[in-house]
Structure 1
Amino acid sequence: MTTTVPYTGSEKESLHAALDRHRDVVLWKLEGLDDERIRRPMTGSGTNLLGLVKHLATVEYGWFCSPFGYEVEKLWFDPATEDMAVAPEESTEDILAFYARARAAADRAIAATDLETTGTAWDGRIVSMRWVLIHMLEDVVRHVGHMDIVRELLDGATGAHPDTSGEVRGQG
């Protein structure tokens, strides 16, 4: 089932639900694909679905956890240059587990931090949790759009969110 944004929820609840709605689509875009297609570069820059998941995991830690002093997983790669690149030795299962851990850590940070609380971002800017939620919603939605295009190029499957049956629309 697709997460819905509450019609009368609080600001934090609504922003978090909107983020979750698109985080769920990140995983849905991988459904039904084998490992080769999940890793296949589909643009001139090498964009592939698994690389986008790796990037999104990295930024979950980098925006929700680091600025506010929450624990961040030690990365095995340089996030400045390798967060969208998937090395042959990085398994799909490992990247998906990394995304799940990052998402869970971010959810704990969101739950524990008031919207007005500020922290220091990686580039020295002072940011509030409200700003981070909005920024991450923008970033996830942007990359889900990339995933839409990559998935359609791979097998013709389209759709912004799963239908009520949970199946990918298109040729699948």
Structure 2
Amino acid sequence: MEQQVAASGGCLETDADLEVELVELHTVGQIGGTDKITQHEFVPPVVEEPSHNSAAEVAADTSDQNAHAITVRNSLRSTDEPRHCAKTDDWATTAGERDALETFLDQYRAIVVWKLAGLSDDQAGRKLVESGTTLGGIVKHLRHVEEAWFVNALDGVPRPEWRDTDPEWQYRMEPGEMLAGLIADYESACATSRRIAAGRGLDDLAQHPRLGELSLRWVYLHMIEETARHAGHLDILREQIDGRTGFA
């Protein structure tokens, strides 16, 4: 698998015969120091269903398969520019509507992970603005945004009740949470979102408890808006930590 990833520059094609899931890493990987990771390191799936565990359960979950996945992840290094693992290698300037929507969303998903490369857990949890927003908290929030719109809204899976008791929980990087786990949870959520969307047309409708009917097209547009907005937040916070700026 490591050879397969390396041969493709860290990105796999999305053809059905090459389709893989991103593993949901709940173990404690290392991203600290000067090491960098690619935004999408593909490894064989460990879980097939999206996780709805609490933060405490996520932090405690480990397995030999996930430990192996972390080894694969740590063996990969990013370049100085983000690698975009989308359906095309560019911004789909002449693509059809669906390819364009999916490409823009995947580009910004990749940028989110790239902006976190090389950070320690302490840096990811550092509060640099009055609101208390952190780098780790943003990627944690984006994971649950993916689940809210694709798993809950489109696929009809009910939201766990424990999520509604503390609305701010998803914005916090709690003590003991590690950036590697938060990134892997986000990547796994993105993989689940892609799988759910793949079986639907842009005009297919789902029922939202507050908004009423909504289409996959609307969800794609909203997710591009939401992910790009928070990628900008990550860019500002990252610059305050180590001066690193870039494509976001």
Q: Taking structure 1 as the reference length, what is the TM-score of the superposition?
A: 0.84
- Matched AA of 1:128: S
Question: What displacement does 1:41 show?
Answer: 1.1
Aligned partner of 2:8 in structure 1 is none
Aligned partner of 1:165 in structure 2 is none
Aligned partner of 1:112 in structure 2 is 199
1:90-105 pair list within 5 angstroms: 90-105=177-192
User: Which structure has the larger Rg?
Assistant: 2
Kept in 2: contact 1:61–1:72 (CA 8 A): no
Q: Percent identity?
A: 35
- Matched AA of 2:123: R
3-state secondary structure, aligned to 1:137: helix
Q: Give the whole-Å Cα distance in 2 for the aligned partners of 1:57 and 1:22.
A: 13
Change beyond 3 A, Cα 1:109–1:147: same
Kept in 2: contact 1:70–1:109 (CA 8 A): no
Structure with the bigger percentage of helix: 1
Q: Give the whole-Å Cα distance in 2 for the aligned partners of 1:90 and 1:69.
A: 28
Kept in 2: contact 1:118–1:126 (CA 8 A): yes
1:7-156 pair list within 5 angstroms: 7-69=93-155, 77-78=163-164, 80-156=167-243
- Matched AA of 1:86: M
Unaligned runs of 5+ in 1: 162-172
3-state secondary structure, aligned to 1:83: helix
Change beyond 3 A, Cα 1:101–1:70: farther
Change beyond 3 A, Cα 1:100–1:153: same
Question: What displacement does 1:32 show?
Answer: 1.5
Q: Give the whole-Å Cα distance in 1 for the aligned partners of 2:159 and 2:120.
A: 27
Change beyond 3 A, Cα 1:98–1:120: same
Q: Give the whole-Å Cα distance in 1 for the aligned partners of 2:150 and 2:180.
A: 23
Kept in 2: contact 1:49–1:147 (CA 8 A): yes
Q: Give the whole-Å Cα distance in 2 for the aligned partners of 1:17 and 1:132.
A: 14
Q: Give the whole-Å Cα distance in 1 for the aligned partners of 2:100 and 2:226.
A: 17
Unaligned runs of 5+ in 2: 1-82
Q: Give the whole-Å Cα distance in 2 for the aligned partners of 1:122 and 1:55.
A: 20
Larger CA deviation: 81-90 vs 137-146: 81-90
Question: What displacement does 1:93 show?
Answer: 2.5
Question: What displacement does 1:89 show?
Answer: 2.8
Task: Give the alignment's Cα RMSD to 1 decimal.
Answer: 2.1
Q: Give the whole-Å Cα distance in 2 for the aligned partners of 1:154 and 1:76.
A: 33
Kept in 1: contact 2:152–2:159 (CA 8 A): no
Q: Taking structure 2 as the reference length, what is the TM-score of the superposition?
A: 0.60
* Greater relative contact order (Cα < 8 A, sep 6+): 1
Kept in 2: contact 1:64–1:109 (CA 8 A): yes
Q: Deviation above 6 Å: which 4+ runs of structure 1?
A: none
Q: Give the whole-Å Cα distance in 1 for the aligned partners of 2:121 and 2:177.
A: 11
